[in-house]
Amino acid sequence: MKLTADEQAMLDGAAGPAKQRAMDLLVRYAEALGADRFVDTTNIAGVPGSSTLFLQNYYRQKGDASYEAVFSQFDLDSDEIVAVPRMEVHSCHLQGGLDPVAWPEQGFSREAFEHQMEDEAAATSHGIQMLKTCTPYLAGNVPAKGEHCAWMESSAVVYCNSVLGARTNTEGRESTAAAMLTGKIPDWGFHRDDFRHATHLIEVDVPTESVMDWGMLGYFTGQFAGESIPALTGKLSRPDLVRHKHFGAAAASSGGVEMYHIPGVTPDAPTLDAALGAKKPRVTIRYSALERRRIYETLNSNGRSEEVDYVMLGCPHASLEQIQEAARLLNGRKIATGRALWIFTSRSVKGMADLTGLTKTIQNAGGTIMTDTCSAIGRFVPKGARVVALDSAKQVHYLPAMMNVEAWFGSTEDCIRAAIAGRWEGVCP
Ligand code: F3S
């Protein structure tokens, strides 16, 4: 590693023990990656110092379960507990495990809620912004093009690289915590120009317009590209923020896509040639009506009973526009007796929904807007729920196996219809 003077000083302990541990961790990480230098990072999104009750009990048995003990031992991989100073650079907290108001409905104990509040207070006192969302870019954290970031959360990473043109690898809890303290991250992968070119080409041969269309195309893209970078051309409508969000989240779930290019749309790809780095694609595939049908069937392969008892929207966390859409589709009607409609979003977006009457509209229909978490990340469904309707390919990918439920995938409209009728009537468009 070639270290700058300030990096060497941190590693030597001149900036205190926490930064020394953080630098030591980052040097080991960089060497494992094969990086020979760091870049300065100005935007970190992680889950620094957070712990579940399980982790709390583990550290309590070891003698100390304070925020600094968890941060030192877990986040910084330090045997010794060190004093953790305020974070050095702009740092935010991603999604957490429970809603700060609706936690009883989600099945959490008061102890779990109170512990989360203690964690939040500690993180805030260390200068961390508690955005509590998988969509920091909808909650006030929008990195600039070319900005070096260190983000966790696959759906946020793919959005950051592809749509914003900022630069991040899919980081982990330890590397983001160390980056928050030092402002450094290995100069490797998506931080480097030569790494950001597409190797796989998808020629889209079926009109791709709705959010649902983009989710299905994303799922196909992940299956095809795996961890490679795809470029997409063909019959694509110009995607808006919500379509990018659903496409990227799906591609990062069925595969490990961290960046994609759409020539003329995404900022690193003014042309197909630029997307491919003036090389030929290694593999090319066509996405036609046949492939779309296969993806629809895959995403609905867990659905058996048409009696839907839980409708979950907001994966990735809903934008204000999506909450507006749900309120419009409910249109004064009520959801069926014994059914639940839960819409997940960030605290920022819910604040706007509260102020503009959307939360009330959804509540009047029998639904609930929740923040911070979702069914997959928090591992909960409404009590007794067996059959779920979803408009997110990512959530369909994870939830049935995690919660042992049946799941249907369709449009937001299909899902709201299922909430009102209590029955799934979606069909492949
Ligand atoms: Fe977000 Fe949960 Fe989906 S954290 S991306 S809503 S799986």
154 CA from centroid of ligand 1 (Å): 9
List C-alpha distances in Å: 255 to 75, 104, 149, 407: 27, 34, 22, 20
Pocket of ligand 1 (CB under 6 A): 95, 134, 155, 249, 315-317, 344, 374, 376-377, 394-395
**How far is residue 157's CA from residue 139's CA, in Å, rounded to a whole number?**
15
Q: Could you identify the atom of ligand 1 that is nearest to the CA of residue 375?
A: 2
Report how far ligand 1's centroid is from the alpha carbon of 317 (Å).
6
Q: Give the chain's residues under pLDDT 70.
A: none
pLDDT of residue 80: 96
* Alpha-carbon span 203 to 200, nearest angstrom: 10
**pTM strictly above 0.95:** yes
The rounded Å distance from CA 283 to ligand 1 centre is: 30
Centre of ligand 1 from the C-alpha of residue 402, in Å: 13
- 5-14 long-range contacts, Cβ below 8 Å, gap at least 24? 7/38, 7/182, 7/184, 10/182
Give 128-151 pLDDT, tens digit per residue: 999 999 999 999 999 999 999 999
Helix, strand, or coil (residue 168): coil
What confidence score (pLDDT) does residue 88 get? 83
**74: which residues sit within 8 A by CB, 6+ positions away?**
51, 55, 59, 173, 174
Ligand 1 atom closest to the Cα of residue 344 is 6
How far is ligand 1, taken at its centre, from the CA of residue 327, in Å? 21
What does the alpha-carbon distance between residue 422 and residue 310 come to, in Å, rounded to a whole number? 9
The number of the ligand 1 atom at minimal distance from the alpha carbon of 373 is: 4
Torsion of CA 63, 64, 69, 73, to 10 degrees: 20
In the chain, count of helices (H) and strands (E)? 18, 13
The position carrying tokens 């899919």 is 170
* Most distant CA pair in the chain, distance: 65
- Distances 52 to 92, 141, 239, 332 between C-alpha atoms, Å: 18, 25, 37, 39
At residue 331, the pLDDT reads: 86
Residue with the smallest CA separation from ligand 1 atom 6 is 315
